[in-house]
Amino acid sequence: MTKENMSVPTIIGTETEFGISVKNAREQDPIAASTLVVNAYKSRNIPTISWDYAQESPLMDARGFMEESQNPSVEDENNSVINDILVNGGRYYVDHAHPEYCTPECSNARDLVKYEKAGELILDLSRLAAEQLLLDNQEIIIYKNNTDYKGHSYGAHENYLMSRKVPFSDIVDGLTPFLVTRQIITGSGKVGAENGADDTDFQISQRADFFEKEVGLSTMVERPLINTRDEPHADSKLYRRLHVIVGDSNMSEFAIYLKVGITAIVLQLIEKGVVGKQFALQEPVAVVKSVSRDLSCKNKIELKDSRKWTAIEIQRAYLELAHQHLSSEERTSIVEDVLEKWDFVLKSLETDPMSLGQHLDWVIKKRLIDAYVARHDFKWSDPRVRMMDLQYHDLRPDKGLYARLLKNGHVERILTHEEIVHAIQHPPLDTRAYFRGTCLRKFPNEIHSVSWNSIIFNGPTGFDKIMMERPHFGTQEIVGELLNTCTVVDLVNQIRTDCK
């Protein structure tokens, strides 16, 4: 890779931690509930494949040092209890006290929406299966949100493949002003404040109150705007995986699409060196909270060089750089569509943010709560208002408020329901997820364990570990024909020969 061409192919994946509650349970045990839900789905699939933790190093810091602690290790017996590797190339498992779903690697924003939404269906299928094991009056409720309103947050993380050649400090400089203001498009909306932040009736972001520093490794305490975890799950000489932890869980397909679409574009601009310190903010950690509380999106934010811009103006500046610097090959039809929608949203926010009541989660939710509050003459502190906020994220099709809006055709869609259902069982065709998902479907009894960048086969000749260090390889185009006809032995031999 030459310095002139530092961009790497777009690869995006998201990880969502879900909130979980068992109605009418004598006491709440979120670990047991999460394990029950994941296993209820798991039993539909393959019971024996483990997750290969040897490939993980979550304590490696992108700034060059390693935290002193043990890598996570899970006893063999527990491994397959808490992990389910999915035939769509994704992963479903128990993380701490939450069920978590990771999409497979996707090459574009549209696929990412499809696989993230397929994950919601997987969670809901799990819930239905798990409820068969509960007492009659008990119900499992799963929320795709980020907070319990009592200071406990759980994340919706995004991952983007980047060139290793980009200095991490360039990412911090170029990305921080973008991420701090991106919430006007990607926020999911929240009633009230938390974590000691200034009180408010309603704010744009679920997560904003939880960010306490600019850069750091932690994801659970003193959360940083830019996370330094350096765990590429790919060839570390070529790539880094940027781990974005500042975003909200989105219900709106349109919001997910723009969130990952515009972020991938901005990272390309950073790789090209056209975004540097020109938008550096005076106090980004304070600004993330003030932007979240500015429902007009028009309050001025102070830049380091004393200019004062609105969040919309900062987003507009990134969009203009994209128009100037993306090459014709980079402007795929999906990238063009993302740029158009980004422009449309910024124009609409400028005119009237409430006009986006079919597009952006925070506006959809605010309009709904406004109308309900007006009808019943409630105060914003009424528990029924907070209940509406929570229930917006309820995955049950008959109870979730977002789900009801979707069902009645009141929210903008990016995909059809059929496309999402298809993505439960089928991997993307154009990333290494194709190889992983297809092997899982074809050789379920001959796979010992899997990680993002490896598969260990346990075939007739013993254990064979195949590494997948380039996330945009292993596609249908490259391995489709081979996988159609081969046995595990053929496959391993063929790959060995090709590697020589």
Partner 1 sequence: MPSEKQQEYRDHPANETAEIQPDSELKENVDELTEDLDALLDEIDEILEEDSEEFVENYIQRGGQ
Residues of the shown chain interacting with partner 1 in the complex, contacts defined by CB under 8 A: 17, 19-21, 28, 30, 95-98, 110, 147-155, 157, 219-221, 245, 254, 257, 333, 337, 340-341, 344, 348, 355, 357-358, 367-368, 371-372, 375, 383-384, 386-388, 390-391, 398-399, 401, 404-405, 407-410, 412-419
Residue 458: what residue type? N
Smaller CB separation from partner 1, 157 or 293:
157
| Catalytic entry in 61, 76, 84, 95 | 95
Least CB distance to partner 1 at residue 217 (A): 12
| Alpha-carbon 64 to chain mean position | 25
Closest CA to 145 of 307, 19, 327, 330: 19
**Residues 192, 287 contacting (CB under 8 angstroms):** no
| Alpha-carbon 169 to chain mean position | 23
CA separation for the pair 57, 230 (Å, rounded): 8
Smaller CB separation from partner 1, 177 or 428:
428
Residue 500 burial class via C-beta count within 10 angstroms: exposed 0-12, middle 13-18, buried 19 and up: exposed
Q: Residue 95 catalytic?
A: yes
CA separation for the pair 231, 67 (Å, rounded): 13
Smaller CB separation from partner 1, 54 or 220:
220
Closest CA to 457 of 470, 468, 469, 448: 448
Least CB distance to partner 1 at residue 319 (A): 14
Length of the chain: 500
For the annotated catalytic residues, the residue numbers are 95
